[in-house]
Structure 1
Amino acid sequence: MNGTSISFRIFCDEVARYGDDVALDVIDSAPRELKERPKIVTMANLRKAAKILWQFSRRIGKADVTLIVGSHQFLLSIGSLCFLIAKLARKPCYFRSFGYLDRYYENLSLVPRWVFRHVMLNLDGLFVESRLSQDNLRPRVGEKVRAVPGYRLMPDATSDAPGDRSAPGGDLRLVFLAHVREEKGVFILLEALRTLAETHGRSVHCDIYGPILEGSRERFDLEIESTSNATYGGVLQPTKVVETLAQYDALVFPTFYAGEGHPGVLMEAMMAGIPSITTAHRSIPELVEDGVNGLLIEPGSVAELVEAIRTIDSDRKLLKELARASRRARNNYDAAKVVPHWLKLMQLSVGTGHGH
């Protein structure tokens, strides 16, 4: 599952807590599998698009509000047609985008950009994941753009202090969890680990988890075989992510992925009570403050990544302070707080006994 699918499932589960106050009727448009460079126009996709539009047309009459959640390409294509149907039916229509909608919009050619801007201007609301996207889009589409951050189902807070994983002088255990592809920084991480194995006095080991995208498989197999202090652990089930992360000293996530918004794995690291070494890329500094609940490096810099790992390995007091702050920061991304706020922005106040 990718981050958007996980977030939407959490949204549905959280809305279900309100019983009869808000009822969901979901039309599933998710692809069966994630591909690195998927083909957009295929017969299978056209058949699926026709099915989605038919279902949407039949069900919209019973809805009070329509919420379209999807990729930027989906919002521009099928999502725009759903918007048109909603407007013809005189139903409020909202879009929810994850990731980098502002950059996607700027990179469109003239005609698609005009179509997308026209749709955004006539929506009842556009929800983006980060303040960065909100600030970049507001000059174009106005105040209806609202930042609703990424979120996860946070456990009850029992303590602000994580467990003592980082004994002085002990091995430093790192973890990488993401799709295994170049843009997520996995090859930068492997190069940094090889450098540490050659030059660093103490043992640093990193376990890597996540599905390997086909375009990266051959290179990844070759590089991890030559990296003695890295191990591939396969794909984790979503229910096992937090408890697995909690076994490590820190998350390493040197992403430079163009579509990055609020990466779910950073919130999951907060849930596990471990700090993150990640990049000052796009809106990531909204989640991780350098030197407070993690360390930030420049995207693509192996040298800075090596130095950041050395820093937390040599200063275990700092490591513990970062971990405590990471655990506290999770409250900002609690679905129990974010989802009700989101519903209110759609003028669906819970406790009214209606809403569909």
Structure 2
Amino acid sequence: MSRYVYMGSFPPPHGGVTVKNALLFDGLSSYLPLEKIDLAKVKQRKLHAVISFVRELLRPSGVVIIGAAGPWRKRITKILSLVNRKKMNRSLLFVMGGAKLEDESYAVALSGYRAVYVETDSMKRDYESKGLDNVSVFPNCRRRPDTPTIPVNRSSRLSCVYFSLISEEKGALLTLDVASLLPDVDFHMYGNIDHAIESVFLRRCNELDNVTYHGVFDSEKDDAIAELSKYDVHLFPSKCPNEGVPGVLVETKMAAIPTIAFDRCFNAEIVQNGKTGYVIGDVSAESIVEALEMLDSNRERLFEMKQASLESAEQFYLDSYLPSIIELMQ
């Protein structure tokens, strides 16, 4: 029997990459006798983890599944390419996040993997344009909910949800600008507050009767999808230049609510403009207000978007991808 080892950083903390690693490791473990090497412990120079890491990269037998971001991804790839090419030919790399491929020597090294998985179609095209023919798409997946969401056509006040870090860059204060322009729409905000804007954010929340700050949502204890499904529209006004593929855009699909986002990074690949939400080129509060007013005045259109969002979630369920990954390794 082949030896299968997963290398990646695992929670805590519960960041995007660590959550994806935990999800993929658990999913693959239901098919394979899978061992784990936690790269966070390797980085901390925990002796047992470092020894296991080096030994596995040098071991001629077995298969390595790598779920790493940034420098770790390049480091492991270059080591395998130089000292253990045969093992690399059997192994898989999962590119965590939305990084483009710019280093030509790194592209050559990546060709040694059995398969390289990226999160979007445009990333796949980018990698293939660099000469790689071993690239497939594995999106920012989630487990299929035990209880399917049912889209709700509400007639009450329109309710919006913000479910991200409360920061200037993520668009928290801009969301408050929108709320001040739409007093007949409710806004519900979740997330850790960036210390740089904490005082102004809390003051403005208290001044706006249509804004509720719910604090930090504990996704380990509670169901994020069930919570998100309580609302009508998801706002994602992030201005981050390197956003990657945010998990909340996937979770809101499963919660059957459309998203309004700015046209940054990979948002337009996740949110289908006019179908599962709106992707806006103009980075302003007024552009979001316009989109919300359209949905508020046309609840039938809003309900169609909710249905379309839920249907589009199908391509983000983990169980849709595991069988083909397992088949490739075997």
Looking at structure 2, the residues matched to 25 and 119 of structure 1 have their Cα atoms a distance apart, in angstroms, of 25
| Counterpart pick for 2:279 among 277, 292, 296 | 296
Q: How does 1:236-247 map to 2 (within 5 A)?
A: 236-238=217-219, 239-247=222-230
Please state whether the residue corresponding to 2:160 is helix, strand or coil.
strand
Looking at structure 1, the residues matched to 162 and 176 of structure 2 have their Cα atoms a distance apart, in angstroms, of 10
The yes-or-no answer on 1:140 pairing with 2:150 is: no
Deviation, structure 1 residue 216: 4.9
Looking at structure 2, the residues matched to 262 and 122 of structure 1 have their Cα atoms a distance apart, in angstroms, of 25
Looking at structure 2, the residues matched to 54 and 84 of structure 1 have their Cα atoms a distance apart, in angstroms, of 19
Under a length normalisation based on structure 2, what TM-score does the superposition of the two structures give?
0.83
Amino acid across the alignment from 1:27: I
Looking at structure 1, the residues matched to 119 and 305 of structure 2 have their Cα atoms a distance apart, in angstroms, of 24
Deviation, structure 1 residue 70: 1.8
Which residue matches 1:109? Answer: none
Which residue matches 2:5? Answer: none
Looking at structure 2, the residues matched to 122 and 253 of structure 1 have their Cα atoms a distance apart, in angstroms, of 38
Higher relative contact order (CA 8 A, sep 6+): 1
Deviations 1:98-152 (A, max 9, x none): 22210xx44xxxxxx3553443243333211011111122222422232222211
| Structure 1 segments unaligned to the other structure (5+ residues) | 32-43, 107-112, 198-202, 350-356
Please state whether the residue corresponding to 1:182 is helix, strand or coil.
coil
Q: How does 1:226-265 map to 2 (within 5 A)?
A: 226-238=207-219, 239-265=222-248
The yes-or-no answer on 1:179 pairing with 2:165 is: yes
The yes-or-no answer on 1:94 pairing with 2:88 is: no
Which residue matches 1:7? Answer: 20
Sequence identity, in percent? 25
Please state whether the residue corresponding to 2:304 is helix, strand or coil.
helix
Deviation, structure 1 residue 11: 1.4
Amino acid across the alignment from 1:9: A
RMSD after superposition? 2.9
Please state whether the residue corresponding to 1:25 is helix, strand or coil.
strand
Q: How many residues align?
A: 314
Q: How does 1:257-336 map to 2 (within 5 A)?
A: 257-298=240-281, 300-336=283-319
Looking at structure 1, the residues matched to 189 and 316 of structure 2 have their Cα atoms a distance apart, in angstroms, of 25
Looking at structure 2, the residues matched to 24 and 254 of structure 1 have their Cα atoms a distance apart, in angstroms, of 39
Alignment CA distance shift 1:79-1:143 (3 Å) = closer
Amino acid across the alignment from 2:17: T
Alignment CA distance shift 1:47-1:299 (3 Å) = farther
Deviation, structure 1 residue 342: 3.2
Under a length normalisation based on structure 1, what TM-score does the superposition of the two structures give?
0.77
Looking at structure 2, the residues matched to 80 and 180 of structure 1 have their Cα atoms a distance apart, in angstroms, of 37
The yes-or-no answer on 1:70 pairing with 2:87 is: no
Amino acid across the alignment from 1:135: R
| Structure 2 segments unaligned to the other structure (5+ residues) | 1-13
Amino acid across the alignment from 1:163: V
Alignment CA distance shift 1:252-1:207 (3 Å) = same
Which residue matches 1:352? Answer: none
Looking at structure 2, the residues matched to 122 and 299 of structure 1 have their Cα atoms a distance apart, in angstroms, of 42
Alignment CA distance shift 1:175-1:23 (3 Å) = same
Contact kept? 2:80, 2:87, Cα under 8 Å: no
